Structure 1
Amino acid sequence: MAEAVDRFGLVGTLVADKYSIERVVGEGGFGIVYRANHRIWDEPVAVKCFTALSNAPVEMREELLEAFVREGKLLTALSSRTTGIVQARDIGTLTTPNGVWLPYMVLEWLDGRPLEAWIGHDTGTPRSPERSALETFNLMDGCARALALAHGRGVAHRDIKPANFFVLGDALAPGVVIKVLDFGIAKVMQSQARTAMQATGTQISSFTPTYGAPEQFDRSYGATGPWTDVYQMALVLVEIMRGGLPALEGEQFIQFAFATQNTQRRPTPRTFGITTSDAVEAVFQKALAVKVVDRYANMGEFWTGLAAALELKEYPAIQAAETTIGQTVVPDGQGGPLKTRGSGELLAQQPVMTMSAPPTPVSPPVPSTVVTPPAPTVKPMAIGAIAAVVGALVAIGAAVFIATRGGGEAEKPPEPPPAETKVVDAPKPEVKVEPPKPPTSCPEGMVFVTGKNFFMGTESEKPVLALARPLHKVEIRPFCIDVYEVTTEKYETCSDKGECKRAYRDSFWPQGSSKRADWDKAKAAYTTLCNAGVEERKQHPINCITWAQADEYCRVHGGRLPSEAEFEFAARGSDGRVFPWGDGAPSPEHLNACGTECVAWRKQKGLPPVEPMYAADDKFVGTAPVGSFPGGKTENGLFDLVGNVFEWTADRFERYPTTEGEPAPPMPGNNRVIRGGAFNSSEPEHSDPALRFPNDADAHTHGIGFRCAADPR
């Protein structure tokens, strides 16, 4: 990180009432880092302010902060399992003395220097000696294992470079602790900041061109993912082996793009005259393949292959990614023999990667072995006759698209034979043969929704609908869905029988970037709107329940939570209407949302003011009895599909693919999709059936309830 001055005037200030900013450490492409003292713990911490986002439009800030909260949670989860990833301690926003808005992360303070300070050349003199492949392997082993662990959680870094490895201590030698920095930040910049910066004309790069993989310059080579980290890590290894000379040569962006995509000259060790065995060279050829389909799928595969090529017989096993190539060896979870799973399956346990044989020795240059990359998880668009299997996969974060069609024409009865003329005493009554009915019956309280193809998502440029873009075509199979949201009375009946866990009596959600005092005030206010135990709200929707509680209720009653595609289709209708009721603007006749009553209540509770969705009083500060707004009924007779409460769906949150056939970018964290707006929704876009948000599955808030779905009998 380059030398920097305190251009924001933060030195000497107090951040979040506990971080005393002491001095500037340095500044890089994404942010400026300060050393601070934690006043409560009396220990140093690093405060990283993300200057690249300082000009983000106000309407984008909430979305950006949600992304950083996810990254902080990701860092905490990963660093608790390995010393190879820097620990995240806190997250928030600040306003500088000059009025600049800045998101920041608080990280553990590290004494040492970045790897880039140890390697490289000063006026032609190398700062680091050339190293063999084995020496380099031993030096970077801890970092590689940390990245393999992250890949096992389905998370990629996407900006592997010497500046993002931090060496603790005063020597660069095997056994030293090296930590990975900025984990996930490149992804946030890529998926969040690009949208935010469009309004200001500012552009930032979400990766470093000197260490860029081909797919980062040109997506025609494939999507980015763990295999991108493999490529970048191989470049770093070659640079270390060369004594600090980068593997990709150039001065401008286009030159680095050409160098990384040049099929005639791959940046492997032997290309630079480094002596290696055929097996080691073959590993690097595969790790540095131009196309992602020809590359190692994750760090576990790459590092284990390199260990085998180096003939490290006793090298310990590395955890592999949850989705792997071909047949992956995984434990059965019972201590028994190892079993295999097919390509693309999501595993309930973290698989153990056993030592593989080294690649077949070759004389370079040779083409890499073609390997199929991890199969992308497809958004769930329909659930067929194997709902129990799908439910089990959802429990481990998987979603399956069953591409079969249900229904069909009823079987016609056979033609009766020609009647014979007989003499009879009395005519026999005519017997009618009824054709069998198609399986369209639904459980009591549900309606049947005919499946079809429809366009899911939106083309709207409204910031609040950014997560619902782009518009894309999906297929929905027939399904059943509750007419009403599950009421407090029905849920409490289930919990009274001991079949469901009791609903919470308080409203809770992660603090995120809010100040503790503001968070506590909001929780206290909204807790009064939890419906469990309140006699006069028996017919209101149950709220203040987690995703798992909603899921369990539906299963106890023989159903399941609807997929988000089913929810949107049920709300949108087969005619593609703008709102569930038609094309008319939202009003108190259509839904329970934030009207003038909501504005007055927030003022009374000391909560930040908002503009109402409509300038009228809908009579309900909180939830309303289900079915109270018949003007908002859908074409299938469903009530409250927008407004009243957001509703849990079955799906984990993932961004939609941005290109046809491209897998959705992975989203870390325990987030499930909520749909449908709530009584406190103040933006008209919250009435759009395409609206979707990620919500922590462990939260139990005033504004989220649910309804159940089922497959037709």
Structure 2
Amino acid sequence: MAEAGDRFGLVGTLVADKYFIERVVGEGGFGIVYRANHRIWDEPVAVKCFTALSNAPVEMREELLEAFVREGKLLTALSSRTTGIVQARDIGTLTTPGGVWLPYMVLEWLDGRPLESWIGHDDGKARSPERSALETFNLMDGCARALALAHARGVAHRDIKPANFFVLGDTLAPGVVIKVLDFGIAKVMQSQARTAMQATGTQISSFTPTYGAPEQFDRSYGATGPWTDVYQMALVLVEIMRGGLPALEGEQFIQFAFATQNTQRRPTPRTFGITTSDAVEAVFQKALAVKVVDRYANMGEFWTGLAAALELKEYPAIQAGETAIGQTVVPEGQGGGLKTRRSGELLAQQPVLTISAPPTPASPPVPATVVTPPAPTVKPMAAGGIAAIVGALVAVGAAVFVATRGGGEAEKPPEQPPPVEAKKVIEEPKPETKVEPPAPPTSCPEGMAYVTGKNFFMGTESEKPVLALARPLHKVEIRPFCIDIYEVTTAKYEECSDQGECKRAYRDSFWPQGASKRADWEKAKTAYSTLCNAGNPERKEHPINCITWAQADEYCRVHGKRLPSEAEFEFAARGSDGRVYPWGDGAPSPEHLNACGTECVAWRKQKGLPPVEPMYPADDKFVGTAPVGSFPGGKTENGLFDLVGNVFEWTADRFERYPTTEGEPAPPMPGNNRVIRGGAFNSSEPEHTDPALRFPNDADAHTHGIGFRCAADPR
């Protein structure tokens, strides 16, 4: 018998021979979400089935699937560049026990709850406290930057709403991680919707009327695009500031259409009695302009303007976009590599944006006025189409912003008004009481260092073969994080296992045989197993090794932490100044790290292992691991020890090759591999000290040369 809500009978079944469907998580007009267990990785994932595509004609399914896969690649490319977007893991189709064809997408499993459950309202009573513009800015900063990144790569969401922001953790305060959900297949949805509605001649769009922009109700206001996300984001910000009361008021589709198009009453903060400066109100007026040509062109422009209005003097710059409203055209099926008609960069390409003064409002704020609704200007829409839109509460909403009308013909960009020279002097806003911005969370648990996030170039341009997997160089945004100063020691790990909270570390070294001869593999395992640290009282302060990825991950979770992402690890090792090595630019030596010196060469000869050249012609005194922190000369700018050398370290990420071109991810890598970083005591190649170095390693291996440290989000 199917579980309640499981109308396709998928609970208890195995999808693609690896995803065991456990239960229904939620359902809406366009999809149903299941929690599943990945049988190979033994970890939870979310499987989202797109039910709105299930009625596609058989002859269209192959074409539809190709489009679906292209949009899935787009999501993968975006989520690989920012932690602010939910990560895509897999994509495919299935046939239900009842014979229904369903496309699905596998996403990372998130522990937490949607923003809407934090800030909603109950019968008109706000569920959350009111927040200032500054508090709201700090709360949503990560999401806005993720959307700005998407806009810079030619992608618009088009269904920004609290339900599509997911809060990780149990508090809603600045510094909490919030992820943007449902990027990926709106274009596919809309294409299928047009096909399905041809009989009535009605066109529908994937958006939620409560957060609809004027152009989503009536295209005479302009095409949809990144500026649509700006409008919707501004509505969400106002709702947060109001404690959960929506910015657009109404109960029916036509009422929302009137509210969003009403030029006499704009849903800005002051309309609802929220105290803001003139500069902040002016930013919201522009973000919520009825006509798209009067609005901010993208999230980067809006968010930078809001930072200026809030007088944030050194707000980190957001990557520039080159798109003006209605001007970008992306060829069908291409997620990246924008072909644009340049209209001038919207944001300066610089490491830090310094703002000297907030912008002067373009016009005085419009006072709140009660207006009797005139006849709405919304184009007629069939009742079925209205019901379909109102029901689309989990509609996915990202699309490359090709401006098209119902028939698929490219829409002419709206005319940009000519610049008009200002002839009127606007009075300076009256002095206001300045409120100092609250400092972002910088507190880290004991034993961890705070690392300030920023944009940096991850990877390398080196042509050396050992660094092939670290190419190409690509820009990544890192948010502030905490990371252990030292690798997790054997003593700390054994304390966790003695308490029954962690699995015991292995006493032998194991890795897949691969292409090695069995006799050589067995000899190496026997030799290196003597270097496993668990159970050796003389190595309590050495890093724990001979543990699997799952054991490392479990330890961090037990302690309220997590494994660092490989981007965080590289940034922590490279430093904000882009140094060659974690300690600076000096060549590796026994003063800096525990690697393979003359002691390593001698030990290998004694054990009958193949000879190697040492990294440096000196003895660093340690055949295997060394006590953590034994090489102060290798300390990073943040005071971290042993980020290269001693042991490689597990990171949170599965191994995938870096995207080869903008927006075009590399083919998925086979196997259950996780990324290891940092080099080890037996590293003999100097390139193993390069912060960009990355290798795939079987997650079930437990070797002598791999340990870990934990990361956490600032408090």
TM-score by length of 2: 0.49
1:75-95 per-residue CA deviation (whole Å, 9 max, x = no partner) reads 111111111000000011111
1:102-139 per-residue CA deviation (whole Å, 9 max, x = no partner) reads 11000000000000111111234422111110000000
Contact 2:458 2:692 in 1 (8 A): yes
Structure 1 window deviating more from structure 2 (564-573 vs 340-349): it is 564-573
Contact 2:509 2:702 in 1 (8 A): yes
Equivalent pairs, count: 713
Would the alpha carbon gap of residues 10 and 212 (structure 1) be closer, same or farther in structure 2, given more than 3 Å must change?
A: same
Contact 1:116 1:162 in 2 (8 A): yes
Would the alpha carbon gap of residues 157 and 520 (structure 1) be closer, same or farther in structure 2, given more than 3 Å must change?
A: farther
SS in 1 for 2:274: coil
Structure 1 window deviating more from structure 2 (553-562 vs 309-318): it is 553-562
Structure 1 window deviating more from structure 2 (628-637 vs 648-657): it is 628-637
1:211 deviation in Å? 0.4
SS in 2 for 1:392: coil
1:325-381 per-residue CA deviation (whole Å, 9 max, x = no partner) reads 899999999999999996168999999977585321467435999999999999999
Would the alpha carbon gap of residues 704 and 258 (structure 1) be closer, same or farther in structure 2, given more than 3 Å must change?
A: farther
Contact 1:407 1:439 in 2 (8 A): no
Contact 2:156 2:401 in 1 (8 A): no
CA–CA distance in structure 2, aligned partners of residues 368 and 501 of structure 1 = 62
Would the alpha carbon gap of residues 229 and 18 (structure 1) be closer, same or farther in structure 2, given more than 3 Å must change?
A: same
- Structure 1, unmatched stretches of 5+, are none
Match of 1:651 in 2: 653
Say if 2:287 is the partner of 1:287: yes
Contact 2:471 2:658 in 1 (8 A): yes
Q: Flag the structure with more relative contact order, 1 or 2, with Cα contacts below 8 A and sequence separation at least 6.
A: 2
1:239 deviation in Å? 0.4
SS in 2 for 1:229: helix
1:58 deviation in Å? 1.3
1:321 deviation in Å? 1.8
Contact 2:27 2:394 in 1 (8 A): no
1:59 deviation in Å? 1.9
Structure 1 window deviating more from structure 2 (252-261 vs 700-709): it is 700-709
SS in 1 for 2:60: helix
1:622 deviation in Å? 59
Contact 1:409 1:438 in 2 (8 A): no
Contact 1:121 1:127 in 2 (8 A): yes
Would the alpha carbon gap of residues 139 and 554 (structure 1) be closer, same or farther in structure 2, given more than 3 Å must change?
A: closer
Match of 1:100 in 2: 100
1:28 deviation in Å? 1.7
Structure 1 window deviating more from structure 2 (117-126 vs 533-542): it is 533-542
Contact 1:571 1:689 in 2 (8 A): yes
Would the alpha carbon gap of residues 99 and 565 (structure 1) be closer, same or farther in structure 2, given more than 3 Å must change?
A: same
CA–CA distance in structure 2, aligned partners of residues 445 and 627 of structure 1 = 13
1:63 deviation in Å? 2.3
Contact 2:249 2:259 in 1 (8 A): yes
Structure 1 window deviating more from structure 2 (424-433 vs 547-556): it is 424-433
1:275 deviation in Å? 0.4
1:66 deviation in Å? 1.8
1:650-691 per-residue CA deviation (whole Å, 9 max, x = no partner) reads 999999999999999999999999999999999999999999
SS in 1 for 2:652: strand
Contact 1:632 1:640 in 2 (8 A): yes
CA–CA distance in structure 1, aligned partners of residues 437 and 241 of structure 2 = 77
CA–CA distance in structure 1, aligned partners of residues 657 and 142 of structure 2 = 31
1:31-87 per-residue CA deviation (whole Å, 9 max, x = no partner) reads 000000011111100000001111111122122212221121111111111110000
Would the alpha carbon gap of residues 519 and 39 (structure 1) be closer, same or farther in structure 2, given more than 3 Å must change?
A: farther
Match of 1:604 in 2: 606
Would the alpha carbon gap of residues 28 and 279 (structure 1) be closer, same or farther in structure 2, given more than 3 Å must change?
A: same
SS in 1 for 2:619: coil
Would the alpha carbon gap of residues 374 and 33 (structure 1) be closer, same or farther in structure 2, given more than 3 Å must change?
A: farther
SS in 2 for 1:103: strand
1:252 deviation in Å? 1.2
CA–CA distance in structure 1, aligned partners of residues 451 and 385 of structure 2 = 16
1:405 deviation in Å? 30
CA–CA distance in structure 2, aligned partners of residues 356 and 257 of structure 1 = 39
CA–CA distance in structure 2, aligned partners of residues 678 and 224 of structure 1 = 52
Contact 1:380 1:400 in 2 (8 A): no
Structure 1 window deviating more from structure 2 (45-54 vs 675-684): it is 675-684
CA–CA distance in structure 1, aligned partners of residues 159 and 443 of structure 2 = 53
Match of 2:479 in 1: 477
Match of 2:666 in 1: 664
Would the alpha carbon gap of residues 482 and 32 (structure 1) be closer, same or farther in structure 2, given more than 3 Å must change?
A: closer
CA–CA distance in structure 1, aligned partners of residues 379 and 467 of structure 2 = 18
Show the 5 A alignment for 1:430-449.
Answer: none
The alignment yields a C-alpha RMSD, in angstroms, of 24.1
Would the alpha carbon gap of residues 541 and 184 (structure 1) be closer, same or farther in structure 2, given more than 3 Å must change?
A: farther
Contact 2:597 2:616 in 1 (8 A): yes
SS in 1 for 2:599: helix
Contact 2:46 2:108 in 1 (8 A): yes
Would the alpha carbon gap of residues 476 and 360 (structure 1) be closer, same or farther in structure 2, given more than 3 Å must change?
A: closer
Would the alpha carbon gap of residues 9 and 443 (structure 1) be closer, same or farther in structure 2, given more than 3 Å must change?
A: closer
CA–CA distance in structure 2, aligned partners of residues 115 and 436 of structure 1 = 22
Structure 1 window deviating more from structure 2 (181-190 vs 273-282): it is 181-190
* Identity in percent: 93
Structure 1 window deviating more from structure 2 (380-389 vs 66-75): it is 380-389
CA–CA distance in structure 2, aligned partners of residues 57 and 604 of structure 1 = 69
CA–CA distance in structure 2, aligned partners of residues 424 and 153 of structure 1 = 37
Max radius of gyration: which structure? 1
1:412 deviation in Å? 42
CA–CA distance in structure 2, aligned partners of residues 436 and 178 of structure 1 = 19
1:253 deviation in Å? 1.1
SS in 2 for 1:375: coil
Structure 1 window deviating more from structure 2 (504-513 vs 598-607): it is 598-607
Contact 1:297 1:374 in 2 (8 A): no
Structure 1 window deviating more from structure 2 (453-462 vs 140-149): it is 453-462
CA–CA distance in structure 1, aligned partners of residues 90 and 420 of structure 2 = 87
Would the alpha carbon gap of residues 32 and 80 (structure 1) be closer, same or farther in structure 2, given more than 3 Å must change?
A: same
Contact 1:595 1:617 in 2 (8 A): yes
Match of 1:527 in 2: 529
1:185 deviation in Å? 3.1
Structure 1 window deviating more from structure 2 (222-231 vs 428-437): it is 428-437
SS in 2 for 1:104: strand
1:157 deviation in Å? 0.4
Structure 1 window deviating more from structure 2 (505-514 vs 153-162): it is 505-514
Structure 1 window deviating more from structure 2 (296-305 vs 469-478): it is 469-478
1:29 deviation in Å? 2.2
CA–CA distance in structure 2, aligned partners of residues 250 and 14 of structure 1 = 43
Match of 1:405 in 2: 405
Structure 1 window deviating more from structure 2 (271-280 vs 485-494): it is 485-494
1:493-548 per-residue CA deviation (whole Å, 9 max, x = no partner) reads 99999999999999999999999999999999999999999999999999999999
Structure 1 window deviating more from structure 2 (555-564 vs 186-195): it is 555-564
Contact 1:73 1:669 in 2 (8 A): no
Contact 1:592 1:679 in 2 (8 A): yes
Would the alpha carbon gap of residues 214 and 398 (structure 1) be closer, same or farther in structure 2, given more than 3 Å must change?
A: closer
- Structure 2, unmatched stretches of 5+, are none
Contact 1:57 1:199 in 2 (8 A): no
Structure 1 window deviating more from structure 2 (451-460 vs 245-254): it is 451-460
Contact 1:79 1:87 in 2 (8 A): yes
